[in-house]
Structures are given as structure tokens and as C-alpha cells.
Amino acid sequence: MKQRVVVGLSGGVDSSVAAALLKEQGYDVIGLFMRNWDSTLNNDILGNPERTDEICSQEIDYQDAEKVAKKLDMPIYRVDFIKEYWDNVFTYFLDEYKKGRTPNPDILCNKYIKFDAFFEHAKRFEPDFIAMGHYARVVHGDHPKLLRGVDGNKDQSYFLSQLTESQLSHVLFPVGELTKAEVRAIAHKYDLATKDKKDSTGICFIGERDFDKFLSNYLPSQPGNMVTEDGDVLGTHNGLMYYTIGQRKGLGIGGSAKYGGDPWFVIGKNLATNELIVGQGFHHPTLYSDACLVDDVNLINLDRFAGDKRCTAKFRYRQKDHKVTIRFTGDRLMVTFDEPIRAITPGQAAVFYDGDVCLGGGFIEAAYRHDQQRLY
């Protein structure tokens, strides 16, 4: 009897090829399309039903997913996780911005929606596994391991770092062994409707729309002063939530007789005074940290340890690996860097690796330089 797999069909090329490969490998494959956002409903939740956001491209994606399912002769079903997404992902997203932090909701979407709510819904089909189109790999066993995808430019293990061993034990990543070019070639081989579809970018509920405008619908702007470290006021900002550490674009600060023409960057935020702190130069020393504190720690295939542990870490997606030492302090991890790292940003994920094996990760609570907590 064939093993059954429920695959998350998003309407993109990666999940389409994942489904094609599973069919090719002899699995009984069922497609499941997730709808996680509804502008009208979410406006009602906010008590603002007359405001309309741009319609997400989900309808187009669903039509593409249907075409792929038909081409591969497999059933497809549609499920709404709108409430689950709001409760577990979007409210977190808003809360982090209220704190002046820069969140990464895609990681929680994977943890709570794609590999939790999705799996619970998929159980009605009695699957042996669920599958997604992520560029990552799993080694199954008593203690499943999460590995980077073979394509270093597309590896998505960073976004899967909050998954548990229990979740990984039920998961297949069919495209994890492939490069993006190979995935495209397979999509052409099967003449899938998504074969030349552009990769999606950003978060679904934001899509291609203006991010600042979108965020202002949910959080009121609080303009304030844009200042140097010495307190010299250079202009005004639109709200601390709109800026991230290390940002250059959109500051609106030109050259001056006093400061010259070197570019300005966001180097800190002072929530108490609602000030955006800026400094000149990509390598401004205030942008560099030598340690950070990580909260909401999730370990994969690794028991809690005593003392120091050496590994590498990423603090942003696509960032190179940095050599670090990690040590538990209570339930959190203190991460010490071998070399100072630029733009360590509270709210972002810190993800740890031992070679290709992802050890898990957490979220940056605070950054430090010479044992002093940074003001952002």
C-alpha cells in the first residue's frame, strides 16, 4: 500500500515541484492550499470595517495550485487558517513593532501554521507524512535532524529553526536536495503552470504593497526626532517602527557643512524619548556588537547543555555564518561572537548550526558591546 503524503501547495514553483517529485516517487499525494489572511475579516477584528487593504494574491495562487494538481492528477483541498494566523503570528508581529523591534513572522508562521495547524488539519487524510516546498533537509530517526538545503542561496533552514523534533518526524522536503535551477527544470519537464512563476517575496499579507502604509493601518505613527549620539537634532522620523538597525534608505538626511557628505545609518532607537539615533558610515562603531541575549530558545536534536558550546550562527537570512560561543543563562542563551558583528537587531532570529545541521535558535532580546547593552 502506498504511503500517503499531504503536501502544502502554495501556488509557487517549489511546492509544485515537491508534489511532482512525490508523485514520481510513488507516494499517494494530496494537495492542501492554505489561506492565512483575509483583509475584510481582519479589518472587522480591528473594529475598522470600512478600511480596505489591497487584496492579497492568494486567489491567483490558489488557481495556480489547482492547475498543478490537475496536471499531476491529484486532489487538492483548501483550508483557512485565518484565525490561527492572527492569534499566533500577526498579533506577535504587531506587538514586536510596538516595542520598536524588527520581527520575523515567517518563522512563527512555520512553527504555528505550516507545521502545526496544517498538520492537525491534514490528519483527517491519515497521512504518513506532510511535505512542503522548503529548501531544507530532514534526517529521520529517533531524534530527527534538520539540515541546510543543498542550494546555499536558497537554504531555508533559518526559517525552520523553531520546529521541534516531533514536527520534523512527520515532514518531507522533496526539493531540499536540489538547486533552484534544477527545480525550474523539473517544473518545465512536467509543464507545470508555475514553471516560470516569479518567486514570492516578503510576507503574504503584505505582498508587494507599501510596507509603511500597511503598518500604519494597524499601529498609529508616533513621529519624533532623528538625532546623533550627541543629541544633535537632524530631522524627524515617522515612527520608530518604520526603521531597522543599519538602515540607510529613507532617512532624508543630506550633506551639511557640519557633518560632510558621508551617508547616515540608523544606529539605535531610544523608546523612552522616541528618538531615532543615526550615525555616519556603514561601519559606524555603534553598529557593532560582540554578544547578544537570545530568548524563546528552541533546540533541535540537542539536549540542554552545561557550560560553553561552540557553533556557528546566523542573525539574518542569507547572512554568512559567524563563529560563536553559546551558554545558557536561565532559559535564555548568551551568545558571544568571535568577531564583532554589524547590526544585531532585537526581534530578529538567531539560528545556530553545527556544519549543515541546524541546532535550533531563538529571538534576539538584547545586543551588547563590551558588556554594555545597546540602545536598540
Per residue in 335-362, pLDDT (tens digit) is 999 999 999 999 999 999 999 999 999 9
Can you tell me the mean pLDDT for 156-172? 97
Residue 207: is its pLDDT beyond 80?
no
Instruction: Report the sign of the C-alpha dihedral through residues 97, 100, 102, 108, in that order.
Output: negative
**Average pLDDT of 312-330?**
96
For 66-100, the pLDDT digits (tens) are 999 999 999 999 999 999 999 999 999 999 988 88
Give residue 330's pLDDT.
97
Q: Which residues contact 191 (CB under 8 A, 6 or more apart)?
A: 71
In CATH, 4-212 is 3.90.1150.10: no
- Look up 109 and say whether it is catalytic: yes
Taking phi over 0 as left and psi of -120 to 50 as alpha, with beta for the rest, 141 belongs to left
Residues of the chain with CATH 2.40.30.10: 285-373
| Predicted structure pTM score | 0.91
Could you say which of 56, 109, 292, 311 is catalytic?
109
Q: Which residue has the higher pLDDT, 51 or 330?
A: 330
User: pLDDT tier at 31 (50, 70, 90 boundaries)?
Assistant: very high
Kindly indicate whether the domain formed by 285-373 is annotated with CATH number 2.40.30.10.
yes
Average pLDDT, the chain: 91
Rounded to a whole number of angstroms, the distance between the first and last alpha carbons of the chain is 56
CATH assignment of 221-280, among 2.30.30.280, 2.60.120.650, 2.160.20.10, 3.90.1150.10: 2.30.30.280
pLDDT at 45 over 50: no
pLDDT over 50 (residue 54): no
Question: Quick one: what percent of the chain has pLDDT higher than 70?
Answer: 92
CATH 2.30.30.280 location in the chain: 221-280
From start to end of the chain, where are the E strands?
Answer: 4-8, 28-35, 76-80, 129-131, 136-139, 145-148, 171-172, 224-227, 233-237, 264-270, 275-280, 288-299, 309-314, 322-329, 332-342, 349-354, 357-369, 372-373
The pLDDT of residue 336: 98
3 state SS of 88: helix
- Say how many C-beta atoms besides its own lie within 10 A of residue 313's C-beta: 24
pLDDT of 101 above 50 = yes
| Residue where the block lists cell 480591528 | 46
Whole-number percent of the chain with pLDDT over 90: 80
Read off the pLDDT band of 368 (50, 70, 90).
Answer: very high
Would you give the DSSP letter of residue 275? E
Catalytic residue among 56, 204, 311, 358: 204
Per-residue confidence (pLDDT) for residue 49, from 0 to 100:
42
Distance of CA 317 to the CA centre of its chain: 8
pLDDT at 209 over 80: no
SS3 label, residue 63: helix
